[in-house]
Amino acid sequence: DNGHGNGARGALIVLEGLDRSGKSSQCLRLVSYLKGLGFPVESWHFPDRTTSVGNMISSYLSNESNLDDRTIHLLFSANRWEKRSLMEHKLRAGTTLIVDRYSYSGVAFSAAKGLDLEWCKAPELGLLAPDLVVYLDIPPEKAAERGGYGGERYEQLEFQRKVDQHYRTLHDPTWKVVDACLSMEDVEEHLRQLAKDCVSSCQNGKQLSQ
């Protein structure tokens, strides 16, 4: 039972896309929309920079430290693993989680450096499977024009082009693709519909899986 008396679980909804595709903006909008409808919902973000693993990731991304490609890959994955049980607890208690980046980011960004795809996927096995993955689709050139990239490690057009290629490889038919070049409001409208359907199907008994 989830404490709301109806046993309904929350939905695990993941937003993916290149840097500057609009994930963070849309996560916030989606959370307030679902809250307004009365659903218990939280906004999550990976990397979660607040943990000690997250601190190491953050200092790597801001170029304050250097790490071997495989080491940083495993840290990103560990950062999801350290949140797995809390995530499961929240979902089973009925809270929907809107998650800004997840395993697909982990795989796409590391594979873009040339690491073997299957090796990159392996540490993600056993994490909770999303109920919905929305890909905010934007050409790397368009993303680069948005507000300008900051100083973080991966915020370079050439690298984002490679990440884009790898996202295309990972893409499966269950992903919902939204054109991230549309206005903020139009992207939001698409997301609202997708999320509402997903939350309903989870409430109606869709099982949580790995």
Window 40-99: residues binding ligand T5A (CB under 6 A): 46-47, 61, 76
Residue 121 identity (one-letter amino acid): K
Instruction: Give the nearest distance from C-beta 199 to ligand T5A in angstroms.
Output: 22
51 binds, among ligand T5A, Na ion, none (CB under 5 to 8 A by kind): none
10 binds, among ligand T5A, Na ion, none (CB under 5 to 8 A by kind): none
Q: Does 166 bind ligand T5A (CB under 6 A)?
A: no
Instruction: Give the nearest distance from C-beta 7 to Na ion in angstroms.
Output: 34
Report CA Rg, the chain. Answer: 17
25, two tokens: 């903006």
Instruction: Give the nearest distance from C-beta 160 to ligand T5A in angstroms.
Output: 8
Of residues 1, 16, 24, 119, which one binds Na ion by CB under 5 A? 24
Q: Residue 40 or 82: which CB sits closer to ligand T5A?
A: 82
Helix (H), strand (E) at residue 97: strand 96-100
Q: How far apart are CA 156 and CA 150, in angstroms?
A: 9
Distance from the first to the final alpha carbon of the chain: 20
In 10 A of CB 103, how many CB atoms? 24
